[in-house]
């Protein structure tokens, strides 16, 4: 039988920093508004090799060489019910492949072992003071194999670095091997696309005799879009448990978003495209060539008030008629269109006030021009 360390604790140790570290720009913590979500998919590879001298069951000595491979898949996600409350879930299937060669004095044997198991976790997180300097968070959860966890976390952003610290307690339900877990992490943004992060975790055994566990993780991330909503990262993790040291590498892909955001953008686009073309201030919404002199500018900005008022006053009736004939625009669309034209009326009033101010400014400039000595003869006296 191949001697090996249980694969699930090691796999969870390797993946724990990946679950705690958000796979996006470290200087931008995830939006915690209602409906926001985060997802992460990862693959980790953890090789391990050793050699030595041992005895079989019959007491015959042999030299051995062992090569173990652990492949871990990680899927995690979180969802925010509000800025204060959220839920997280993760699933971690593991595949172990071990191969050992035994050299006896008269023969050589090769043993192969394949094993698999799965880990999972569910936690609820509470933020008492969102947006504060330290942004404290408290979570309680349950993991499989059955373990209860409690954790507190705080973060501090100082451009271009973010620092995170956590303190947690884990209690297995089937044993007294509880542990106190300390965590510290930091992230650095190199540019708009590239970021770096590092984290350290130390597990202190409490109760029965157990070994402390230490892990160090280093991650390089690359944003796949300008908004930083999707990210791919390469992670290297070093774990130490007693005299057993393992080095793992992994690749992650993740992103974030808000439920209903895409649907809302689609509805807004449909509403905008369905608005009928209406004249504004007595002219259609077309692009015109700008006037060539100040006189033309004054003429263009000055409009006849009766025509402007009559056109704007007739617009809501025209819109209502178009809405009744168009089955696509209903409910919120009608209210949005009415609000749009109400704003247009307000803008029209502001334009009239601006035109009056321009006329007064032109008169003031004309008075100043006529006060110049060289213009007093040819300048017409302004009352």
What are the sequence ranges of the domains in the chain?
7-259, 275-375
Tokens describing residue 250: 């992994």
Return the closest-CA partner of residue 282 out of 320, 312, 313, 318.
Answer: 312
CA angle 87/91/94 to nearest 5° reads 160
pLDDT of residue 36: 92
CA distances from 369 to 188, 294, 319, 359, 364 (A): 60, 15, 48, 15, 9
pLDDT tens by residue, 282-318: 444 434 444 444 433 333 333 344 443 333 344 444 4
pLDDT band at 252 (very low <50, low <70, confident <90, very high): very high
Find the DSSP H helices in the chain: 7-20, 261-274, 294-301, 305-325, 332-370
User: CATH number of 7-259: 2.60.40.10, 2.40.160.40, 3.40.50.300, 3.40.1550.10?
Assistant: 2.40.160.40
The phi, psi pair for 334, rounded to 5°, reads -60, -45
Taking 90 as the threshold, does the pLDDT of residue 219 lie above it? Answer: yes
Helix (H, G, I), strand (E, B) or coil at 11: helix
Distance CA 357, CA 164 (A): 56
Q: Give pTM, 2 decimals.
A: 0.61
Give the whole-number percent of the chain exceeding pLDDT 90.
45
pLDDT of residue 7: 40
Helix (H, G, I), strand (E, B) or coil at 370: helix
The crossing angle, in degrees rounded to 10, of helices 294-301 and 332-370 is 140
The phi, psi pair for 262, rounded to 5°, reads -65, -40
pLDDT tens by residue, 53-82: 999 888 899 999 999 999 999 999 999 999
pLDDT tens by residue, 237-251: 999 998 889 999 999
pLDDT of residue 132: 87
- Contact of 125 with 135, CB cutoff 8 Å: no
Q: Which residue has the higher pLDDT, 307 or 97?
A: 97
Let me know how long the chain is. Answer: 383
pLDDT of residue 191: 87
Q: What torsion, rounded to 10 degrees, do the Cα atoms 312, 314, 319, 322 define?
A: -140
């Amino acid at each position: 039988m191949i001697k090996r360390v249980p694969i699930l604790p090691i796999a969870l140790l390797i993946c724990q920093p990946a679950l705690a570290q958000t796979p996006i720009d470290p200087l931008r913590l995830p939006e915690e508004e209602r409906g926001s979500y985060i997802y992460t998919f990862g693959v980790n590879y953890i090789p391990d090799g050793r050699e030595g001298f041992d005895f079989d069951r019959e007491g015959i000595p042999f030299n051995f060489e062992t090569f173990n491979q652990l492949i871990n898949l990680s899927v995690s996600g979180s969802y925010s019910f509000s800025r204060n409350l959220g839920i997280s879930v993760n699933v971690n299937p593991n595949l172990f492949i071990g191969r050992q060669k035994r050299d006896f004095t008269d023969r050589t044997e090769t043993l192969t072992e394949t094993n698999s198991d799965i880990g999972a976790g569910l936690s609820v997180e509470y933020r008492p003071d969102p947006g504060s300097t330290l942004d404290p968070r408290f979570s309680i959860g349950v993991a499989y194999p059955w373990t209860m966890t409690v954790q507190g976390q705080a973060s501090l952003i100082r451009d271009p670095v973010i620092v995170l610290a956590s303190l947690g307690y884990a209690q297995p339900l089937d044993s007294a091997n509880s542990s106190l877990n300390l965590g510290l992490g930091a992230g650095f943004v190199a540019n708009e696309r590239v970021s770096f992060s590092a984290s350290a975790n130390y597990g202190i055994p409490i109760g029965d005799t157990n070994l402390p566990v230490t892990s160090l993780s280093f991650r390089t991330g690359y944003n796949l879009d300008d908004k930083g909503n999707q990210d791919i990262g390469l992670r290297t993790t070093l774990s130490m448990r007693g005299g057993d040291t393992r080095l793992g590498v992994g690749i992650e892909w993740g992103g974030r978003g808000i439920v209903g955001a895409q649907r809302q953008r689609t509805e807004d686009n449909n509403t905008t495209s369905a608005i009928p073309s209406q004249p504004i201030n007595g002219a259609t919404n077309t692009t015109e060539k700008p006037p060539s002199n100040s006189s033309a500018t004054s003429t263009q900005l000055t409009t006849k008030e009766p025509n402007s008022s009559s056109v704007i006053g007739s617009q809501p009736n025209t819109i209502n008629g178009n809405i009744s004939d168009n089955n696509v625009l209903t409910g919120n669309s009608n209210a949005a269109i009415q609000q749009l034209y109400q704003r247009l009326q307000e803008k029209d009033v502001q334009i009239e006030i601006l035109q009056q101010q321009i006329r007064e400014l032109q008169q003031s400039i004309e008075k100043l021009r006529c006060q110049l000595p060289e213009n007093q003869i040819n300048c017409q006296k302004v009352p």
